[in-house]
Amino acid sequence: MAERCVNEQVSAASTDRKASTAGQPLCWQHRLFGKQLARCNYVNDTRKSIDSAAATLVHEDGRPACEIVGMYFSFVNPGATCDDFTRQLVELYASVNGGGGGSGEKKKKFEVVHVVLWSNVTEVLDFDESFRIHVADLPWLAVSNRDYERKTRLTRRYRIKAGVPTLILLEASNGSIVTRGGVERTIADPTGAEFPWRPPHPKAALEDGPLLSCGARDSNEPMLHEELRHCFKGIYFSAHWCPPCKAFTPQLVDTYQRIQERGHDFEVIFVSSDRSEDSYNAYTETMPWLRIPFNQEERRRKLARAFDVQAIPTLVILDPRDNIITLDGRAELIEDPEGLGEDCEIQFGESVLLPAAQAYRRDQPDYDLNYDDPDDDSLQFYIALDCETSDILREFIGLDDAVPLLTAIDIPRGLYIVMEYGAEITVDSVQQFVDGFLNNKLPINKIAAVHKTSKTNERMPA
């Protein structure tokens, strides 16, 4: 019965491929979720079939049928946490949509796509039955229980933590992220009075008062944000009580001082999450940069919302116009503690990769470089510098130490392609290589480590 309904959904991936090969570009909704989604309140009803998600997420003319799409990742067996939040989300869904779910021709304000996961698969006897029980009677849509590949891609792309319910809100017009903190926002605003909780622009909060000097700074004079208009800036979210923060702060101090000594215009602004002013004062005594005053709690809160900060320590890097360079400055600093940036290698890599990357991105308008992680269907362009990460990748794939080297790597499918050794890497040769890769016209090599693991898994008993 319900088994029949589930089986009708498992061809989503092949449906997507047929649509794209027919020359009709897929909208971001179909690329991300597929065309076939289950209506949660249908999965136990044998009188109804599983409708196409296109009827709800996208009109036939391509217009989005709602304003905001919420991706809800929940776990069947971590205890009551997900169940408790699911009830709150049902209430929010009804409240935001006016109680009736947005029926008729009027555009629905909010639609949810539910991704059901399991944090401990060894405890599950029947995945289909567990899925049906988990989503029965919910008023929204769900990714098919058997679309394992899509669930894996979504989980990896949005860095979902096992056992932790997560609600990510997306703009229905283009798929860009509104907020990753949907759970926290729902708990704080259960009726959705300020839904969809779009973050304020950081510039307003940065300009809303003076920036004070920290204790280890040479000058005690406060500054205004407009005085930093020529600077690259690091917005540092941290707290004295947080062990990872206390470990990272000395690293940031060291890198900051090295960059300053080289004469670069770079400034750090500390945004505290300390619980008391005494802790705040003790912590800032060790810092050589600027700080938001502790008593400006609303200003600090606005900055955290503007950059969708979900954990500390977080280091956001801005250019002189306050555009985001990266939301993960901490990882960048750990990778490059000298702050050198490998300028020459980057300049060469950018000069030959950028034209091909820009041409490819014109066909991917919903991709948000600041927030989105790569999914399996989206080609990413990277410059692999001389670092430990590059060495690990070369060893995993089986590449030698030749440089420069242009490769296309598909780890989930265990495949890679290498430009002919000795060929000159130019703008034209890179574009030809990318075109050949996308059109399946280049010789393919298998990543031995991936296929060895797959064969081992196939031999394991069920």
Domain final residue pick, 147, 165, 188 = 188
Give the residue numbers spanning the domain of 135.
Answer: 28-188
Lookup: tokens for 114 = 């539910």
Q: What is Dmax (Cα atoms) for the chain?
A: 75
What 8-state DSSP symbol labels residue 460? S
The domain tally of the chain equals 3
* Predicted local confidence at residue 366, as pLDDT: 56
Residues 144 and 285 in one domain: no
Is residue 133 in a domain?
A: yes
Same domain, 39 and 171: yes
Report residue 178 as tokens: 């509104």
* 63 and 110 inside one domain: yes
Quick one: pLDDT at residue 289? 97
The confidence score (pLDDT) of residue 460 equals: 42
Region of residue 137 (left: phi > 0; alpha: psi -120 to 50; beta: else): left
Residues 360 and 331 in one domain: no
- Distances from the Cα of 284 to the Cα of 63, 272, 295, 297, angstroms: 50, 9, 14, 16
- Residue pair 269/234 in contact (Cβ under 8 Å)? The answer is yes
Q: Considering the domain boundaries, does residue 21 fall inside one?
A: no
Answer yes or no: do 92 and 171 share one domain: yes
Determine the straight-line distance between the first and last CA of the chain, rounded to whole angstroms.
25
- 91 and 237 in a single domain? The answer is no
- The answer to the question of residue 36 being in a domain is yes
Phi and psi (nearest 5°) for 236? -105, 110
The domain boundary residue, chosen from 135, 153, 188:
188
Are 132 and 260 members of one domain? no
Q: Same structural domain for residues 177 and 128?
A: yes
- Shared domain for 316 and 293, answered yes or no, is yes
Q: Is the domain of 359 the same as that of 275?
A: no
CATH of the domain at 52: 3.40.30.10
Establish if 454 belongs to a structural domain. no
**DSSP code for 44:** T
Instruction: Tell me the C-alpha distance between 192 and 70, whole Å.
Output: 13
Say if residue 318 is in the same domain as residue 441: no
Write the DSSP string, 234-296: EEEEE-TT-HHHHHHHHHHHHHHHHHHHTT--EEEEEEE--SSHHHHHHHHTT--SEE--TT-
Q: Is residue 1 part of a domain?
A: no
pLDDT digit of tens for each residue in the chain (462 aa)? 332 233 333 333 444 444 443 444 568 888 888 877 888 887 766 555 444 333 467 777 778 889 999 999 999 875 555 688 999 999 999 999 986 544 445 678 999 999 999 877 666 678 888 888 888 889 999 998 888 888 988 998 888 888 889 999 999 988 888 999 999 999 999 999 999 999 888 888 899 999 999 999 988 899 999 999 888 999 999 999 999 999 999 999 999 999 988 888 899 999 999 999 999 999 999 999 999 999 999 999 999 999 989 889 999 999 888 888 888 899 888 877 876 655 546 666 777 888 888 888 776 655 555 545 544 457 788 888 766 677 788 888 888 777 678 899 888 888 899 988 777 788 888 999 998 888 888 998 888 777 655 444 444 444
Residues 283-317 as b or e (16 or more Cβ within 10 Å = b): bbeebbbbbbbbebeebbebbbbbbbbeebbbbbb
Q: Within its chain, how far is the Cα of 250 from the centroid?
A: 28
Residue 8 belongs to a domain: no
| pLDDT given for residue 29 in this prediction | 87
Instruction: Answer yes or no: are the C-beta atoms of 356 and 381 closer than 8 Å.
Output: yes
What is the per-residue pLDDT for 50?
43
Tell whether 104 is covered by a domain.
Answer: yes
pLDDT value, residue 46: 52
223-236 per-residue burial string, b: 16 or more CB within 10 A, e: under 16: eebeebeebbbbbb
112 and 175 together in one domain? yes
Q: Which of 163, 188, 213 is the last residue of a domain?
A: 188
What pLDDT, on a 0 to 100 scale, did the predictor assign at position 11? 36
This prediction has a pTM of 0.62
- Residue 14 domain flag: no
Question: CA-CA distance, 58 to 55, in Å (whole number)?
Answer: 6
User: What pLDDT is attached to residue 410?
Assistant: 86
